[in-house]
Amino acid sequence: MPPSGRHFAFGRRLNENRFLTPVWQDCRRIMPAFEKYCVLRMAVMETAGKVLPSGLSGRPAALMLGARSPGSGEKAADRRMALAAFVIRVLGAGLAFVSQIVLARTMGEFEYGIFVFVWVLAVLLGNLSCLGFPTAIIRFLPQYRAAGALAEARGLLVTARIVVLVSAAAVAAIGLGALRLFGDRIGDFYHVPLALALLTLPMIALGDVFDGTARANHWPIMALSPTFLIRPTLIIAFLLIAVLSGATASAATAAAAGLAAAFVTVLLQSLAVTRRLGRHYPAGPKTIELGIWTKVALPIFVIEGIGYLLTNADVAAAGIFLDPAQVAIYFAAAKTMALVHFVQFSVKAAAGPRFSAIIAEGDKRRLAAFTAETARFGFWPALAVGLAVLAAGNLLLSLFGPAFTAGRPLMAILFAGILAKALVGPGDLLLIMAGKQALCGWLYGAVLVASILLNVALVPTLGIQGAALAVAIAMTIEALLLYLAIRRTLGIVSFAFARVAS
């Protein structure tokens, strides 16, 4: 059937739109770069295969996506969960990279920088608004299910949703009030995008609760796909539809697309999770144990909050002190360099069960050997992948726009920090598996304080180079503290070049 006039009109609209033309014209440049990313992704997955337990390495992709694996019960479910999580996170990273290119090309660096800053704040505040309840669900729900305590399970599921909605709405209201009172102290260009981003907080927080609910029931695709696959896709789709319909390609339009995407995503996630929960937890009385749940959730909130703040401190500081265009360049460089992090992600995903098993056996020599081996498995692939990303740095950054190639020196600085962290391997995971989670929490609290001080000191004076330096130095401090903590508490050396006595 020949295309209709409406289709021709749509094509003309796409070609004539001055914001989308660069995206349309650069498809040939994006695809080769994306193919290179896929090659890097496969290298990471091969690394994971080397360190995965023998029963898991070599399984087909269908198993990773949550298909039935040999064995049954909690252990098999945990394996499917871990493998599906790995695949979705890798696919999500590729989607995020491409989507950021589309956003930057559509809006330009100034508007893109505004959107990046307000969206990072929205996700950060939305995560913090959960007060640790998504992880508390993962902690309590399996226990209630095993004990047949359906009333407590139903009470937990309902209470968690209410708590995070009230908390997120309160944070959004405080933010909107502060924006109204002190808005004259920030640029006018931030007002509308920031207000729209604040309105997304309840959806982001509620989505985290559904994520935790699905994880607790070993539904990995339902848990992770909304955040890492569906919502980013919808943001791009809604933004492009709005621009093609005549809206300005601005941060405000992107923030509105983000608000709509968050609402649709959490609605679909709510319907899917609630329907599936009905099969396992039929309607009935509810028992509320808010004090018990809060006692567990608040320490989790502190630990997770430190992680959220540590991850986003650089972008937040750049947004506060720098021009939005500079924020955009920094974010693009950081996003591109983040491809290297998936080496550590793959190693950590595989190392956890082995750490736990060896610690349970009490074999210190074997633990020392495996710790050093894990560090090496993480360091050398990280070095290779990082050098490849650096070599292609100008090409990858140019996909965001010509101005973004100014971020290539930042990639080298960030890479130095990533390598410093890779030298000690998944030291935080080792401490947690050894029962030293409190020490790990204090350690990361110290790193967060150092990161904040470094950003406040370096960003205003050195600009985006200061933000990259702050991240690299904070990673180095983290690596040093982990090395010292492991050596002092466990008596072993977590270092890629450590010599282990046979």
Instruction: Note whether residue 263 is domain-resident.
Output: yes
Question: Could you report the per-residue pLDDT of 188-228, keeping only the tens digit for each?
Answer: 899 999 999 999 999 999 999 999 999 888 888 888 899 98
Could you give the number of structural domains in the chain?
1
CB 427 within 8 A of CB 344: no
Q: Is residue 135 part of a domain?
A: yes
Neighbours of 450 (CB within 10 A): 18
Classify residue 226 by its DSSP letter.
I
Q: How confident is the model at residue 56 (pLDDT cuts 50, 70, 90)?
A: very low
Residue 454 lies in a domain: no
Helix (H), strand (E) at residue 443: helix 437-462
Q: Is residue 29 part of a domain?
A: no
Our measurement of the distance from residue 479's CA atom to the centroid of its chain's CA atoms, rounded to an integer in Å, reads: 20
Give the rounded percent of residues in the chain with a pLDDT score beyond 90. Answer: 52
217 domain-assigned? yes
Write the CA distances from 91 to 38, 41, 62, 230, integer angstroms. 9, 9, 14, 11
pLDDT digits (tens, 9 = 90+) for 238-273: 999 999 999 999 999 999 999 999 999 999 999 999
State which residues form the domain around 247.
108-288
On whether residue 445 sits in a domain, the answer given is: no
Query: Helices marked H in 226-286 — which ranges?
Result: 231-244, 251-280
Residue 333 and residue 397 in contact, taking contact as beta carbons nearer than 8 Å? yes
pLDDT for res 74: 54
Residue 112 placed within a domain: yes
Report CA-CA distances (Å) from 320 to 326, 359, 460, 466, 467. Answer: 11, 45, 9, 13, 12
The answer to whether the beta carbons of residues 155 and 286 sit under 8 Å apart is: yes
Separation between Cα atoms, residue 79 and residue 194, nearest integer Å: 40
Cβ distance 260 to 124 under 8 Å? Answer: no
In tens, the pLDDT along 117-172 reads 999 999 999 999 999 999 889 888 888 888 888 999 999 999 999 999 999 999 99
- Residue 362, in any domain of the structure: no
Mean pLDDT in residue range 100-112: 94
- How many helices (H) and strands (E) the chain has is answered by 22, 0
- 497 pLDDT higher than 80: yes
